[in-house]
Structure formats: C-alpha cells, structure tokens
C-alpha cells in the first residue's frame, strides 16, 4: 500500500467519527504513505466545515474547479413553538433537573433560555476552536488568519486555492492521473474495503502457515470484548428499525446480556463498551450500569469509548467504567432528567371537542393531555425527578471519584464537548476506539496486539436456537417497539419529546 486517495463529502457524519478518521489518516501519512483528498465541493456554497476539516488531515487537497469551500463557522439553530401554542390556547407543563436540561424549551420558551444559550454557545465555540486549530496546523496558517478566513467564507475554488485552503484544482480524472503517477505505473487501484478484506485473508493464511497452537486457531487466545451500545436506550431488547436509514435502539436486555456473557467467557480479559447514544430510559440505563459494575467486580477492566454522542443516558451507562475515552468533538454530559406533557383541553374545546372521564385511583389520569397536573401530582413528579437526579449524580460521583457537589456543579443537565469534559473530569482521555482498546489491553495485561472481538458473536444458528438462560450470549434478539416513558411514551413522541425516555439529550447535534 503506497497511497490513500479519498473522496471527501456526501452524507454528513458525526464530528467524533471525523476526528477518528483524521487521526488514522495522519498516522498513515506519518508511516510514509501518500495521502490525497479530493472533493467536487465542500458544501455547495453552503456550510462544509466538517467535510473540509476531515480533508485537512490529508497531505494534499484537490478541489473541482466548480466547487466551493464552505468554511463558515458553526451555527446551532432551534425552533420554538411557545407563541403558536399560546394562539391555540395550549399549554405545556414541564419539570426538569436542572436548568440546562432544555429538551422541552421548544414548547415553553420563545427563544434560548439563558442557561441553554450559555451551553450552546460554549459547544459551538469549542467545536470552532477544534476545527480552527486543525486548519491552522495542517495548512500552516496562523490562528488569526484562520479566524479571518472563517468570517469571510464560503469560498469559490480559485480564491480557496489563493488563500491556501486547498492545494490543487482539478477534476476526478486529473486527480487520479496525478496520484497514479506518484504511486508508480504498476500500482493497483482498490477500494479500501477490498484492500482490508484482502489483508485479513492474507493474515489468516500466514497464521495457518506458521502453525499457531490449536487453542489460538480455535479462538482460545485471550481477547478484548468489544460491545457496541448504539442508539437511544430502551428497556427490553434492542430494536432494529424497519425504516431505511432510521437506525434502531439499544435494549437494556441485549446490552446487559452481552456484558454478562463477556464476564463468563474465560477468554475475555477486558471489555470496551463503545457508546454512541443520546440516552433514553433511566431504568434501562441503570440496568446496563449495573452490569458494567459487575464486570469490574469480576476483575475484567471496562473502558468506555464514546462516539459522536454519549450524553444523558449515554453518559449514565459509561460512568462506571475504569476509564472513559472520548473524542474532542464528542457530545457528552447532559447529566439531568425531565418530564412533561401538553395540556390541550382548551384548544380542543375551541374546536368543539369535549371529553369525559371515568377513573379508579386518584392519579389514574395523571398523564391525560386534556387537563393540567394537580398539586398532588406535581409533588409525585418532583419526588421522582429528585430521585433520578440524585441517583445519577451519586453514581457519577462514585465512578469519577468526585463529591456529589462537585458533580452537581458540572451536571444540571448541561451538555459538554469531549474536550471540555476532559477538562472538568467527566472524561479521562481524548481519543477514539483505537485509544480505548489500547488502554483495555494494558489494563488487562495483554499484548499490544491482542485481538479485539465484537461480542457476543452470534451465529445464524444461535439466532434460531432458544437461549438457555439470560446469561447466554444469544439471550436477547432485536425487536421493534419502544416504551421507555412507561404509560407516557406515546404522548412524549406526539409532542416532540424523545419516545425513548427522560434521560435523552435534547436537540440535534450533527454539525456541518
């Protein structure tokens, strides 16, 4: 392998994922390989900050002459419905712990509250700092010059080249011709996936030829278990969405069974929990947290590796790990809780809609969206919120070796970037999955090249065979429905709260 040529652009990916890719490209260049990025456009005269940020990791950047460089800085925009609700005669009742837990503010405010603005401004500032520093370093520009360039963007291709943001202008065929010339006439062009597949086959053949001990050939080698905890958190089994591109959800039964299975496996010496989740159900998060605690008690180190988002419930399932690793651009924290409901009785009454009610039990209709909470129901809600928040903060304090008051000062529902979280103690180290697996190997006393195995590895036959018990690695298959708000989950979904539960990160945090 002599060169890497990558087309940059297309579907947006998360900032933390981009940072992992950037580091891999930089490592490849430091190993003496040629690295070239090409794009038809970094945004089409629109924001393309993250695409361009990825491209700066490469040794040379080509841009199609008709393309643009959308280096414009970061914007976070939210829509608020309070004014429309007032005109409709609707109300929205919400309670939260604490002031930074802002998921319901689109229904209760007409703009950013002061805490939400403070939080969002700092996140945008932190991300802009990360992008600016990288551009300055890789393009050999001063910090002041990069700040000026961001304020003056976006750029047409000729000016982008004149300002030093790109190296060459050219179409795809011209880029490929130039790279082939540098690589040599006998160089073979392969998609990265084909190259990796061929390399794995070659390594397996080499292992067979060198006649490794049978125990290693049959999977007896000591390994690190890699467990993916991806998507909103819900009780029960993990969810596979039937809709293309809509992702799924992690179920506490599925993830807990995977951790239990790794604890029982004598070949697993450490666990890496790869978390990419905005949170969800408090109860489900607590179930997974408990299994992480049990794994550590069993003598198996656990390292949490955070992806693009590991916030609220996503942080809850990470906080008991021996070490937490995040990228600078990971969105994390959001240690808090909220609940609420719309009150639509007056709105429906204006349209001539009436209702009647029969109840058995003082709070049987507590979550009815036709009437407000009573004083007694507010008492119950506040007791529940205090219980959840205090438990969350207490467990963070326990896992991070801090006092509850220290945690409270950086909690309150506030979102942090990974860079800021490393500074306030919520994260131990900055890096990606490779960093986390290296730490896990070291903690377990394994070789730096000890294998990492996605866990549990369930064969097609295992999927058909009933699990022997909840300890079995095939104990939880995926299913389809969510109920992590309890009786209020459908209501939460209808009014815009995330249907997966009260420990869910507010808003969308995908930057362009």
Contact 328, 419 (CB under 8 A): yes
Residues 225 and 374 in one domain: yes
Domain limits at 174? 3-72+153-195
Chosen domain end from 177, 195, 213: 195
Residues 184 and 232 in one domain: no
Q: Identify the active-site residue in 102, 305, 312, 484.
A: 312
Q: pTM higher than 0.95 for the full model? A: no
Which helix or strand (DSSP H or E) is residue 212 part of?
A: none
Structural domain contains residue 125: no
Q: Give me the residue label for tokens 């109920």.
A: 483
Structural domain contains residue 213: no
Q: Which two tokens stand for residue 369?
A: 């969206």
Residues 347 and 434 in one domain: yes
Residues 158 and 295 in one domain: no
- Residue 296: which of 320, 268, 315 has the closest Cα? 320
The sign of the dihedral angle between the CA atoms of 73, 79, 80, 83 is positive
Residue 53 phi, psi (nearest 5): -55, -45
**E-assigned strand segments in 283-366:** 302-311, 323-326, 331-333, 337-343
**Confidence at residue 248, expressed as pLDDT on a 0 to 100 scale:** 79
Going by the DSSP 8-state scheme, the letter that residue 368 receives in this structure is -
Q: Which two tokens stand for residue 145?
A: 């010059």
Q: Which two tokens stand for residue 436?
A: 């986390």
Rounded Cα distance, 397 and 465, in Å: 42
Cα end-to-end distance, the chain, whole Å: 31
Structural domain contains residue 128: no
- Residue 241: which of 233, 253, 249 has the closest Cα? 249
Active site residue 312: yes
Structural domain contains residue 179: yes
Q: Give me the residue label for tokens 């949170």.
A: 279
Structural domain contains residue 42: yes
Residues 253 and 182 in one domain: no
Rounded Cα distance, 3 and 481, in Å: 46
Residues 313 and 410 in one domain: yes
Q: Which two tokens stand for residue 15?
A: 């900032």
Buried residues in 382-394 as b, exposed as e (16+ CB within 10 A): eeebeebbeebbe
Q: Identify the active-site residue in 60, 96, 101, 395.
A: 101
Active site residue 101: yes
**Confidence at residue 11, expressed as pLDDT on a 0 to 100 scale:** 82
**Confidence at residue 195, expressed as pLDDT on a 0 to 100 scale:** 74
Residues 165 and 242 in one domain: no
Residues 227 and 347 in one domain: yes
SS3 state of residue 36: strand
CATH number, domain of 442, equals 3.90.226.10
Residue 150 phi, psi (nearest 5): -65, -40
Contact 243, 437 (CB under 8 A): no
Residues 252 and 178 in one domain: no
**Confidence at residue 194, expressed as pLDDT on a 0 to 100 scale:** 77
Residues 414 and 480 in one domain: yes
Residues 171 and 297 in one domain: no
Going by the DSSP 8-state scheme, the letter that residue 34 receives in this structure is E
Structural domain contains residue 238: yes
Structural domain contains residue 134: no
Contact 225, 268 (CB under 8 A): yes
Count of domains observed in the chain: 2
Rounded Cα distance, 7 and 40, in Å: 8
Structural domain contains residue 13: yes
pLDDT of the chain along its 512 residues, tens only?
889 999 998 788 899 999 999 999 999 999 999 999 999 999 988 889 999 999 999 999 999 999 999 999 999 999 999 999 999 999 999 999 999 999 899 999 999 999 999 999 999 999 999 999 999 999 999 999 999 999 999 999 999 999 999 999 999 999 999 999 988 878 888 888 777 777 777 776 766 666 555 444 445 689 999 999 999 999 999 977 655 555 678 999 999 999 999 999 999 999 999 999 999 999 999 999 999 999 999 999 999 999 999 999 999 999 999 999 999 999 999 999 999 999 999 999 999 999 999 999 999 999 999 999 999 999 999 999 999 999 999 999 999 999 999 999 999 999 999 999 999 999 999 999 999 999 999 999 999 999 999 987 766 666 556 666 666 555 545 544 444 444 444 445 444 455 556 677 656 666 66
Which helix or strand (DSSP H or E) is residue 18 part of?
A: helix 15-30
Contact 417, 328 (CB under 8 A): yes
**E-assigned strand segments in 59-120:** 60-63, 68-69, 91-97
Buried residues in 146-180 as b, exposed as e (16+ CB within 10 A): beebbeebbbebeebbebebbbebbeeeebbebbe
Residues 310 and 173 in one domain: no
Q: Point out which residues pair with 249 in neighbouring strands.
A: 239
């Amino acid at each position: 392998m002599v060169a890497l040529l990558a087309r940059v652009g297309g579907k947006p990916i998360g900032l933390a994922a981009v940072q992992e890719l950037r580091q891999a490209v930089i490592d490849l260049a430091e190993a003496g390989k040629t690295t070239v990025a090409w794009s038809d456009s970094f945004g089409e005269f629109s924001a393309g900050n993250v695409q361009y940020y990825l491209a700066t990791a490469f040794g040379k950047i080509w841009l199609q002459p008709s393309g643009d460089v959308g280096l414009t800085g970061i914007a976070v925009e939210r829509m608020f419905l309070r004014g429309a609700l007032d005109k409709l005669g609707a109300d929205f009742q919400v309670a939260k712990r604490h002031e930074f837990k802002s998921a319901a503010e689109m229904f209760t405010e007409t703009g950013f509250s002061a805490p939400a603005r403070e939080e969002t401004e700092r996140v945008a500032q932190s991300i802009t700092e990360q992008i600016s520093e990288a551009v300055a370093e890789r393009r050999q520009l001063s910090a002041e010059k990069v700040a000026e360039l961001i304020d003056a963007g976006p750029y047409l291709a000729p000016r982008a080249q004149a300002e030093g943001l790109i190296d060459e202008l050219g179409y795809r065929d011209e880029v490929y011709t130039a790279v082939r010339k540098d690589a040599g006439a006998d160089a073979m062009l392969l998609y990265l996936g084909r190259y990796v597949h061929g390399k794995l086959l070659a390594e397996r053949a080499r292992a067979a030829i060198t006649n490794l001990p049978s125990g290693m050939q049959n999977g007896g080698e000591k390994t690190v278990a890699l467990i993916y905890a991806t998507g909103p958190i819900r009780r029960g089994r993990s969810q596979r969405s039937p809709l293309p591109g809509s992702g799924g959800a992690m179920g506490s039964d599925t993830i807990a069974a995977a951790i239990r299975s790794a604890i029982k496996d004598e070949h697993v010496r450490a666990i890496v929990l790869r978390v990419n989740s905005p949170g969800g159900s408090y109860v489900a998060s607590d179930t997974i947290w408990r299994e992480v605690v049990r794994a550590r008690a069993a003598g198996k180190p656990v390292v949490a590796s955070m992806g693009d988002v590991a916030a609220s419930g996503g942080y809850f399932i990470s906080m008991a790990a021996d070490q937490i690793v995040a990228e600078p651009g990971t969105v994390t924290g959001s240690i808090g809780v909220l609940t609420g409901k719309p009150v639509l009785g007056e709105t429906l009454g204006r349209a001539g809609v009436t209702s009647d009610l029969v109840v058995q039990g003082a709070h049987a209709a507590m979550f009815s969206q036709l009437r407000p909470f009573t004083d007694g129901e507010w008492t119950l809600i506040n007791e529940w919120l205090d219980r959840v928040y205090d438990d969350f903060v207490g467990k963070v304090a326990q896992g991070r070796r801090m006092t509850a008051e220290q945690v409270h000062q950086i909690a309150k529902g506030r979102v942090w970037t990974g860079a800021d979280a490393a500074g306030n103690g919520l994260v131990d180290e900055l890096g990606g999955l490779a960093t986390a697996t290296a730490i896990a190997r070291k903690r377990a006393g394994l070789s730096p090249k000890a294998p990492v195995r996605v866990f549990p590895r369930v064969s097609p036959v295992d999927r058909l065979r009933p699990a022997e018990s909840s300890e079995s690695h095939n104990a939880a298959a995926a299913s389809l429905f969510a109920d992590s708000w309890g009786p209020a989950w459908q209501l939460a979904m209808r009014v815009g709260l995330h249907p997966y539960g009260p420990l869910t990160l507010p808003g969308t945090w995908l930057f362009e």
